[in-house]
Amino acid sequence: MFQTRLAERAPGKKVWTFAFVFLVLILLVGGYFLLRQETRATFREQSRSLLAIAELKVQGIKQWRQERLNDAANISASPLFSGALSRWLGRPDDQELKGDIISRLALASRTYGYENIFVVDTAGRVLLFLTAEAEAVSPETGRALEEALDRKETILSELQQNQSSHAYLDCVSPIFSRDGLVLGALIVRSDANLFLYPFLRSWPTPSPTAETMLVRRQDEQVFYVNELRHRSQTAFSAGPSLNQAFLPAVRAVLGQTGVFEGDDYRGIRVLADIRPVPESSWFLVTKVDAAEILAQARSRSARTMVILGLLIIISGGLAFIGYRHKKIAYLRTLYRLEKMKRETQEEFRTTLYSIGDAVITTDLEGKIRVMNPMAERLTGWKEDEALGQPLSEVFHIISEETRARAQDPVSLVLQMGTVVGLANHTLLISRDGKEIPIADAGAPIRDEHGQINGVVLVFRDQTRERAARQALEESEKRYRVVVENAHSGVLIVNQDYRFEYVNQRLCEIMGRRQDEILGHDFREFLDEESRALVADRYLRRQRGEDVPSRYEFNIIRKDGEKRRVEISSAIVKDIQGRTITVAQLLDITERKQAEEALRASEEKYRILHEFAGEAIFTYTLDLKLLEVNRAACDYVGQSREALLGLDILELGILHPEDVQRALDNLKSITQGGQEIAVDKLRFRGKDGSYATYLVTSTPVVQNGEIVAVTNVCRDVTLEEKLHAELKASEKKYRFLFNAGNDAIFVYRLTEDNRPAEFVEANELACRLSGYTKEELLKLTPVDLVAPEERAAVNQSNLEISQKKQRVFERTLLTKDGRRIPCEISSHLFEMNGQPTILAIARDITDRKKAEESLRAALSEKDVMLKEIHHRVKNNLQVMASLLRLQAAQLTEKQAQEAFRKSQTRIRSMAMIHEKLYQSSNLARVDFADYVEKLVTHLYVLYEVDQRRVHFRNEVGEIGLDINQAIPCGLIVNELVSNALKYAFPGSKKGELLVKMFRDENGRIHLVVKDTGRALPAGIDIHRSETLGFQIINDLTKQLNGTLEYRRDGGNEFEITC
């Protein structure tokens, strides 16, 4: 049926042919569109690649030029260099000083990789040089020298070529004396062939046509700065005229930027990216031939066509394979099912022949079909001999008690149709006549329709099980529980009736503390009736008269309760010869009450006996049952009437191996004079299983003779299991205690929280301290601590007693005098009712060394960061000074104002770095102090009288990091500058407020408010085209904040970030 369903589901040849044709059409259409997409993607990819390469080269050239400027400025600005040059100019014949200066220049040349460094005077005459070629400066370098001296800053010359066609770039930096006088200029020469030209020629990927051109404008022509790839002798030569606008180089010098497609100087179609080099007259043209790009597209297209053809071939193959696969799928399924069936049978057979129980299976007639090795061993029959034999022939079982043949289990299973078990105490008679106690069960074997077609019999040998139980009971017999039943009070009274000693039980009887009894008169605790009786007996006994030593009287407890007691006393002499009375006091109040209510008590006992949870058996000395309670009847499974008069051993509930021990216990009570016997015996329940019971045997005495014995039986199977688990748990935690990676000490605390001697320590604690465990247990924690730290031990223990745990560091003093820094984790707990501390010590020597190294590294880092902030601040101040000097040379007020604004912005950033390197915290800026200094500077700069425009600084104690401080500083600079310039025209008075605070959500609010003239009503500060508001909006976005403007008697700006 399953094969038929598989065949019906398999499609025919037409379906697979149609599927193949449809798939080919899809592949062809998809291939066409993929080819078009590949060509377009190739051009887009090359455009992005050109952009990335051009950007990389422009940034590289920019960085290379900036490094020249920075290096030249650093060398010329060095106080050591300028001071040495100033001294040499005053003593030009000092060859040693000259040699020292040249050595410094040579060191800089080797360090930074410069071709030559030389010093010239203001007229361009060479004073010092490293190589002879610097005897005179070129005209181009001379123009750069004039500009550098005029502007008093470092200037780069144009890229130039000497007579030997060697390309180089000069960087000119003026040299100033300490008084600010110009001593001359430093010229640093860089070889273009070392970096610039190789960098221009480099290309990240192999390309036969890719080229990078560096050009500049010279009059009405393009001037080539580097050698062209496809033409020789073109460096420092004129190129095409500017009217050839179709060429990339011409478009570059005309100011066009971006990627475009056109013809190059060869007349070949190219894809080019053109852009200027910042801060120079150079333009960069990065290009690659369009034919090379198309070749890549064609290569990709060819690969696509090949892949498309392969996909069509594969599709045909897959269609054929799919058809074949469907055709044979049902055969494979059938084979797999057959294989699973064989594996299941083999698994069943392996399991059957390897289990520890004996297994026999039979057919409906009771003839043996299968017998595993364990069944062979127990029955004495081999499987090949037993096959086909009736079960009764091989499996011969009898009752252990009656010796009668047991019922055939096969017929019983077939009759019941369910799982059945053998009766208890069943013996198997093996082939050689050996009797083996077994426990077994039989179950029916059913076919797929639920019909019984056989029986399986499972049985096991109980010989070892019974032997193990007997050994366990004999082991438990060695451990008896001794229970003390004496609960009497003990007292000593002197000749003055005063207590000298009482035990705890006496205090409990009298309901008082020990200090409330000692030293007091014994008669204080008696009622009026008993006081005279006790005094009379006491005096007569002191005189030596024959007075009974045991009598009864009443005492009054502290709570007023009257208790009846019995005293037994004796007169003795103490070590000082004084006569004292030693007595034993028993509280017999309950006994008296019991005697008075004996009949009620007997009834209560009967009820307790009847409904007790433990099984109770009372039997005569010849083992005949006299009495049983309800729990005993339930356990045995018989009524009280059926049990009374039976021999207790004939019930069969006691394990055979425990019978003799039970008889020995009975003998010890009846003949050995033992009042009580406690033992653990095994009893069989109604379900046939055995459980361990704690049996307490007590004699029943009448007229001084033992007439019966009562057994109280309590199930302790669970207690035995818990006891074994407790021992295993103790062993496990003892192993963990000694196998840990840390030293562990355990010690108790005294009443005043001082450490006592150690009570336990693990092996690692001994190795760490150098003491043996015996030596260590005689010491206290104070003995293991360095002398200077011992005073802190008691304080630590006091804190631990309050907080329950504490982690601290101590210096451990070993036996040989070594000092070991340790981290100690202490925990307070109670052991045997006493406060105890568990101290876990870890050697942190390596960590301490690492911390010292880290502190040294952090200190060095702080110095470096302060130096960096100091240098940045100096550089920003230099920039501000240069802007001030440049502004002084301008005539247009608008330009001067722009320079002055830039100067204030740079100064606001410089003040941030100044605050950082002057602060002890390099990560935070005290913004309140910063605002005070910045606003004061702006008042001076814009010549505003603070008496006319009062400034109020309400910046809270807020520390900002540099990423927050610089934008906030620039915003304050812009807003305060605008207020001072425009809000208070003429002699208008008012107030200016700068406020900063942090709200409950942790956000920072910066408020700049003035009471001057408000902004025009139509202005939108978020869309204003003025540079100031554009800067404020950009800085607010940089802070991830918001900007709000309010007209409230003036102008109020609030930035929240």
pLDDT tens readout for residues 933-983: 878 878 877 778 888 889 898 888 777 777 787 788 888 888 888 888 888
CA distance 129 to 121: 12
CA distance 681 to 695: 7
Question: Which of 1006, 1002, 1043, 866 is CA-nearest to residue 927?
Answer: 1006
Question: Which of 319, 304, 318 is CA-nearest to residue 28?
Answer: 304
φ, ψ dihedrals at 1023, nearest 5°: -120, 10
Q: Which amino acid is at 52?
A: A
pTM over 0.75: no
Distances (CA, A) of 744 to 594, 727, 739, 750, 812: 56, 22, 10, 20, 13
Mean pLDDT of 418-439: 80
Query: What confidence tens digit (pLDDT) does each residue in 596-644 have?
Result: 766 655 666 667 677 777 888 888 888 888 888 888 888 888 888 888 8
Q: What is the signed CA dihedral for 862, 864, 866, 871, rounded to 10 degrees?
A: -170
CA distance 520 to 437: 73
- Which one has a higher pLDDT value, 903 or 753? 753
Based on its alpha-carbon atoms, the radius of gyration of the chain, rounded to whole angstroms, reads 55
Q: DSSP label at 631?
A: H
Lowest mean pLDDT among 112-126, 630-644, 910-924: 910-924
pLDDT computed for residue 5 by the predictor: 45
Tokens of 501: 């000693």
φ, ψ dihedrals at 922, nearest 5°: -75, -10
Is the pLDDT at 478 greater than 60? The verdict is no
Tell me if 481 sits within 8 A of 487, measured CB to CB.
no
Tell me if 812 sits within 8 A of 765, measured CB to CB.
no
pLDDT computed for residue 462 by the predictor: 79
Look-up of token digits 């049990």 = 643
CA distance 849 to 853: 6
- Which one has a higher pLDDT value, 406 or 257? 257
Q: How many other CB atoms are found less than 10 A from the CB of residue 589?
A: 16
Q: For the chain, how many residues are written?
A: 1057
CA distance 766 to 770: 6
φ, ψ dihedrals at 984, nearest 5°: -130, 70
Question: Which of 465, 558, 470 is CA-nearest to residue 515?
Answer: 558
Max CA-CA distance within the chain? Answer: 155
Is the pLDDT at 276 greater than 90? The verdict is yes
Is the pLDDT at 650 greater than 70? The verdict is yes
φ, ψ dihedrals at 554, nearest 5°: -110, 145
Tell me if 949 sits within 8 A of 914, measured CB to CB.
no
- Which one has a higher pLDDT value, 937 or 282? 282
Is the pLDDT at 919 greater than 70? The verdict is no
Tell me if 1028 sits within 8 A of 968, measured CB to CB.
no
Look-up of token digits 């006088």 = 181
Mean pLDDT of 119-147: 83
User: Strand 949-955 and strand 990-998: pairing?
Assistant: parallel
CA distance 279 to 281: 7
Is the pLDDT at 755 greater than 80? The verdict is yes
Tokens of 177: 């004396």
Q: DSSP label at 677?
A: E
Mean pLDDT of 549-575: 85
pLDDT computed for residue 896 by the predictor: 67
Q: DSSP label at 623?
A: S
pLDDT computed for residue 708 by the predictor: 87
E strand or H helix that includes residue 964: helix 962-978
User: DSSP letters along 594-619, please?
Assistant: HHHTHHHHHHHHHHHHHH-SSEEEEE
Note every long-range contact of 243-248, with CB atoms under 8 Å and residues 24 or more positions apart, other chains counting. Answer: 247/222, 248/213, 248/272, 248/274, 248/285, 248/287
Is the pLDDT at 825 greater than 80? The verdict is yes
CA distance 431 to 215: 114
| Residue 323 pLDDT level (bands cut at 50, 70, 90) | low
Is the pLDDT at 274 greater than 90? The verdict is yes
Domains defined for the chain, CATH in brackets: 206-291 (3.30.450), 359-461 (3.30.450.20), 492-588 (3.30.450.20), 598-714 (3.30.450.20), 740-843 (3.30.450.20), 924-1056 (3.30.565.10)
User: DSSP letters along 74-113, please?
Assistant: HHHH-HHHHHHHHHHHH-TT-HHHHHHHHHHHHHHHHHHT
Mean confidence (pLDDT) of the chain: 80
pLDDT computed for residue 922 by the predictor: 46
Is the pLDDT at 878 greater than 70? The verdict is no
Which range of 125-129, 163-167, 648-652 scores highest in mean pLDDT? It is 125-129
Is the pLDDT at 4 greater than 50? The verdict is no
Lowest mean pLDDT among 85-99, 516-530, 774-788, 962-976: 962-976
Is the pLDDT at 583 greater than 70? The verdict is yes
Tell me if 806 sits within 8 A of 850, measured CB to CB.
no
Tell me if 563 sits within 8 A of 506, measured CB to CB.
no
pLDDT computed for residue 674 by the predictor: 65
